[in-house]
Structure 1
Amino acid sequence: MDSLINAAGRALASGDPLGALKRVALRDDAPALALRGIAMAQLGDFAKAKALLKSAARAFSPKEAVARARCVVAEAEIALVSRDLGWPEKALRAARTTLQAHGDRVNAAYAGSLEARRLILIGRLDEAERLLAGFDPAPLPPVARVAHELAAAGIAVRRLRTKVARSALGRAALAAYQANIPALKAEVEGASLVLNVPVARLVSKGLEKPLQLDEVEALLASGALVIDACRNVVREADTVVSLATRPVLFTLARTLAEAWPADASREVLLRRAFRARHADESHRARLRVEMGRLRAELGALAEVNATAAGFALSPLNAAEVVVLAPPVEEEHGAVLAFLADGESWSSSALAIALGASARTVQRALEALSADNKVQAVGRGRARRWMTPPMTGFPTVLLLPGPLPSD
């Protein structure tokens, strides 16, 4: 590798993309194209970065399989940062296999971390956990350790394992400090915020209280009967009854829980569940039917009893009934929840993550934009939606070849 390529790589490693571009901006050989692509990604021009990395992958000869695979992994990282969840995951998996086969353990591990983080974003936690299980990141360089620990922390946060998440983020912070890359430090700090901010609300006996992640974990382990409006389930310890596909039943259960230990009137139940302003006998008949269905669903956890005014929830074993609600509830709260990570999302990526149709997500984004809650960047297929400015960029691991000290 010539001196200019070495110097450009060193500049990228020290967080100086402009310095790297000064050395290779006029060169069109494969290593220079790859370095230019990574530099442009660090500067935030993801479209140009992807084009350069594709050109670099084509420019490397068929014998340079490792270099090609590294370009694919760099492109995958750009796709992850820009929330392009439609990027072909098979290409990343093939690149990881190639890197492993050629002994590039560091970049193969980094590719695995990227794959796991993509799976986490779309809710496939079991697959992400299997991908990371049994892998010891200790021998890896600091940048690769940061990626691995952030993936592990992401799984732990979503599993409500606060201590595990805190430990993983602590290791990520140490590795970022060792790497001495400002953007990595900022990424870890941003990921750590979830441990110190309210992530839900406790609603009980007419009062509300914000809860942090560890408090949510403690509540779910307390033995209380929890009506979880974050996941639309009813749970008590390890017993979980999902009502995610039964919105009317869940609304009834939540209304009863918010009224507990008193009963909820029929008028309130009809208004909340059926949006019936002027209830007639048909509404009351439907309410009786739906209450019978709810009684059957919650049979192992609670009784649903009729009262003179309405209905009341009576837990069988729990001493308390509470509602766990999202920190902010509005019509398009799920979309806002994904955009709250500070990254920019395409509408198609949001549709994949939410499991909704693209048109449904587009309507939600248009409504939120009209209320100045989100903003669009770009046009056409390049349009992205965000709240804060975008952060994050590909790392210096994915260079076309090893640095002299490697």
Structure 2
Amino acid sequence: MDSMMTAAARLLATGDLLGALKRVALREDAPALALRGIAMAQLGDLVRAKVLLKMAARAFGPREAMARARCIVAEAEIALVSRDLGWPAKTLAAARTVLEAHGDRLNAAHARHLEVRRLLLIGHLDEAERLLAELDPTPLPPPSRTAYELVVAGIAIRRLQTGAARAALRRAENAAHEAGIPALAAEVESAYQVLKTPAARLVAVGEERFLLLEEVEALLASGALVVDACRYAVRDANTLVSLSTRPVLFALARALGESWPGDVSRNALVARAFRGKDADESHRARLRVEVGRLRGELRTLADVRATKDGFALTPRGVRKVVVLAPPVEEEHGAVLAFLADGESWSSSALAIALGASPRTVQRALDALAAAGKAQSFGRGPARRWTTPSLPGFPSTLLLPGPLPSD
């Protein structure tokens, strides 16, 4: 590797992107194309970055399998940042295998981080933990350790383990400081914000207030009976009854939880569960059937007893009932929640993350765009969606690994 490429690689590794580009901007050889692609990605020009990395992968010869694998890992990270969740995960896994076989443990570790981050986005926590458990972070350099701890924190946050998340973020903060790369420090600070912003709303006995993530964790461990409108479940510290596929039952459970310890009239329950204005005899008959089903689902946690005017929720044991609701509730709120992460999403990626049909997601995006709550750019497969209130900023890509001179 010539001295100019070595110098450019060192500048790229320390975050001096423009300095790196100045040294290779006019070169068309494979290493220079790869370095330019990585630099352009970190500057936020993901479209140009993808083109350069594909050119680099083709330019590397068949005997340069490790270099080609590194290009694939960089492409995978661009796909992740641009929320192209349909990018072939098997291709990334194959590239990681090549890197491991050639002893490039740093880029192999980074490839594993990308795999785990994708699994986090689509909610496959068990598989993400399994992959991460196969990686030992001890010998990794500071940038790679930062990436590792951010992934650990992400899993802990999803599992409502705020103590573990804070510990991981502190380790990530120390590693980012040791690396001396401002973009890494900014990413850690952004992750900290998740613990500092409201994660849910508590509704109980006429009270309504916002909760931080650690307060949600404490509530779920408190022994209270929680009607969880974030996950469509009824739960206590030891038992969870999912009603995610039973929307009518959950609507009834939430209405009863919000009125506890009082009851809810039959007319109000019909309007809440069936969206009917008036409760006629057919509605009342259906309500009795659905209440019976709800009583069966919640038999280990609570009883649904009939009152003079309607029904009331009575928890097993002496404990209170609370409702845990999302911080903001509106139509298409789940789509907005994903768009609020600051990245640009394709409609197909949102469909994968939400577990919904692409057509359903597209209708939601069109409605949000008409209301001025979402905006798109690009056309066709390159079309991306984001929230208009978030300022544009270049996405931070963590691309650890040995210098091209390796």
Question: What TM-score, normalized by structure 2, do the two folds share?
Answer: 0.97
State the match for 2:52 in structure 1.
Answer: 52
Q: Which moved more, 1:306-315 or 1:378-387?
A: 378-387
Q: Is the 8 A contact 1:225 1:318 kept in 2?
A: no
C-alpha deviation, 1:399, in angstroms:
6.7
Instruction: Give 3-state SS (helix, strand or coil) of 1:322's partner.
Output: strand
Residue of structure 1 aligned with 2:398, choices 387, 390, 395: 395
In structure 1, the residue matched to 2:3 is 3
Tell me the CA shift for residue 308 of structure 1.
0.6
One-letter amino acid matched to 1:124: H
Unaligned runs of 5+ in 1: none
My pick for the range that moved more, 377-386 or 203-212, is 377-386
Q: Distance in 1 between matches of 2:244 and 2:283?
A: 23
Q: In the alignment, is the contact (CA less than 8 A) between 2:80 and 2:114 conserved in 1?
A: yes
Post-superposition CA distance 1:226-277 (Å, at most 9, x none): 0000000100112110100000000000000101001011111111111110
Instruction: Tell me how far 1:222 sits from its aligned partner.
Output: 0.5
Q: What code does the residue aligned with 1:122 have?
A: I
Q: Counterpart in 1 of 2:206?
A: 206
Deviation of the 1:384 alpha carbon: 1.1
2:38 partner SS = helix
CA distance in 2, matches of 1:318, 1:55: 67
Alpha-carbon offset, residue 211 of structure 1: 0.5
How far has the Cα of 1:292 moved from its partner?
A: 0.5
Other structure's SS at 2:323 match: strand
Range that drifts further, 339-348 or 14-23: 14-23
CA distance in 1, matches of 2:51, 2:40: 10
- 1:38 equivalent to 2:38? Answer yes
Task: Report 1:1-400 matches (<5 A).
Answer: 1-133=1-133, 135-387=135-387, 388=390, 389-397=392-400
Q: Is the 8 A contact 2:99 2:105 kept in 1?
A: yes
State the alpha-carbon separation in 1 of the partners of residues 352 and 405 from structure 2: 36
Q: Which amino acid aligns with 1:168?
A: A
User: Does the 8 Å CA contact 2:116/2:131 hold for their aligned counterparts?
Assistant: yes
Cα deviation for residue 398 of structure 1 reads 5.1
Q: Which amino acid aligns with 1:157?
A: I
Quote how far apart the aligned CAs of 1:390 are: 4.4
Q: SS at the partner of 1:169?
A: helix
- 8 Å Cα contact 1:255/1:272 also seen in 2: yes
Counterpart of 2:234 in 1: which secondary structure? strand
CA shift for structure 1 position 286 = 0.5
Give the CA deviation at 1:19.
2.0
Give 1:66 shift.
Answer: 1.1
Letter in 2 for 1:60: F
Instruction: Assess if the C-alpha contact under 8 Å between 2:106 and 2:402 holds in 1.
Output: no
Count of aligned pairs = 403
SS in 1 for 2:267: helix
Residue 317 of structure 1 deviates from its aligned partner by 2.1
Q: Distance in 1 between matches of 2:92 and 2:66?
A: 13
Give the distance between the partners of 1:57 and 1:134, measured in 2 at CA: 28
1-structure distance, mates of 2:398, 2:155 = 22
Residues 203 and 178 from structure 1, CA distance in 2 versus in 1: closer, same or farther, beyond 3 angstroms? same
Query: In angstroms, what is the RMSD of aligned CA positions?
Result: 1.3
SS in 2 for 1:241: strand
- Alpha-carbon spacing, 1:137–1:276, altered in 2? closer, same or farther (3 Å): same
Q: Deviations over 1:53-86 (max 9, x none)?
A: 1111111111111111111111111111111101
Give the distance between the partners of 2:234 and 2:277, measured in 1 at CA.
27
Contact 2:6 2:405 in 1 (8 A): no
Runs of at least 4 residues of structure 1 off by over 4 A? none
Find the aligned partners of 2:126 and 2:341 in 1 and give their Cα distance: 22
How big is the shift at 1:379? 2.2
Asked if structure 2 preserves the Cα contact closer than 8 Å seen for 1:9 and 1:396, the reply is no
* 8 Å contact kept, 1:34–1:71: yes
Moved more, 371-380 or 171-180: 371-380
Q: Separation in 2 of the partners of 1:331 and 1:90?
A: 35
Contact 2:40 2:46 survives alignment (8 Å): yes
Change (3 A) 1:384 1:281: same
SS, match of residue 262 in structure 1: coil
Which ranges of structure 2 fall in alignment gaps of 5 or more residues?
Answer: none
The CA deviation string for residues 182-217 of structure 1, in whole angstroms up to 9 with x for no partner, is: 221111111111111110001001110110011000
- Give the match's secondary structure for 2:329: coil
C-alpha distance in structure 2 between counterparts of 1:398 and 1:371, whole Å: 44
Looking at structure 2, the residues matched to 185 and 283 of structure 1 have their Cα atoms a distance apart, in angstroms, of: 57
Q: Distance in 2 between matches of 1:30 and 1:400?
A: 14
Q: CA deviation at 1:147?
A: 1.2
Which amino acid is the alignment partner of residue 49 of structure 2? A
How far did 1:164 drift? 0.5
8 Å contact 2:9–2:403 — kept in the other structure? no
CA distance in 1, matches of 2:2, 2:175: 30
SS of residue in 1 equivalent to 2:350 = helix
Aligned-partner SS, 2:201: strand
